[in-house]
Amino acid sequence: MTVINLKNFYPWYTDDEMLEVTDEVAAELIADKRYEKSHMRGMRRNKILSFNAEDGIEGTATVCYNDSPERIFDVMCRHCGLCCALNSLPEIQGRRIEARFLLGMSQREIAFADGVSEEAVSKTIQKGLSAIRRYYINVSVRG
């Protein structure tokens, strides 16, 4: 068994969260992290050098390079805030909201995967969205 720090693998963990996993899982997480870094290096390199694609990639490739540092920082803060808000939800709500809005699954697909009714999925998502709104209100009042 290997002890890993989830903060090193998931951006929404802001504090150290140690977890004991099998050696195989730890190896996969480390390999995935290496692949992700390599992929991002390749994307940065290719976005700068290959502007001959005709599928609209030129615009998306230069967006982050044309933005001001303040804009990039704002986007990063919003992303971290969303991750923290999702992480504050109960597991089922967070998983269903992620499946619906980030993975693009329909409520029917989520219900089938979880073995529950579509109505249960709909209620869970609505409660989760309300909790996220309350989270942002509380953060703005404190901040």
Res 143 pLDDT > 70: no
Is the pTM for the entire model greater than 0.75?
A: no
Q: What is the pLDDT of residue 64?
A: 53
Q: How many angstroms separate the CA atoms of 103 and 117, rounded?
A: 19
**Co-location of 62 and 77 in the same domain:** no
Domain final residue pick, 40, 66, 92: 66
Q: What value does the mean pLDDT take over residues 14-23?
A: 86
Q: Could you tell me the CATH number of the domain that includes residue 138? A: 1.10.10.10
Q: Residue 52: helix, strand or coil by DSSP? A: coil
Q: What is the pLDDT of residue 57?
A: 52
Instruction: Residue 47: give the domain boundaries.
Output: 1-66
Q: What is the pLDDT of residue 122?
A: 94
Q: How many C-beta neighbours within 10 Å does residue 112 have?
A: 13
Q: What is the pLDDT of residue 49?
A: 46
Res 130 pLDDT > 90: yes
Residues 6+ apart with CB under 8 A from 67: 75
Domain final residue pick, 26, 51, 66: 66
Q: What is the pLDDT of residue 31?
A: 86
Number of independent structural domains in the chain: 2
Q: What value does the mean pLDDT take over residues 50-65?
A: 51
Domain final residue pick, 66, 88, 121: 66
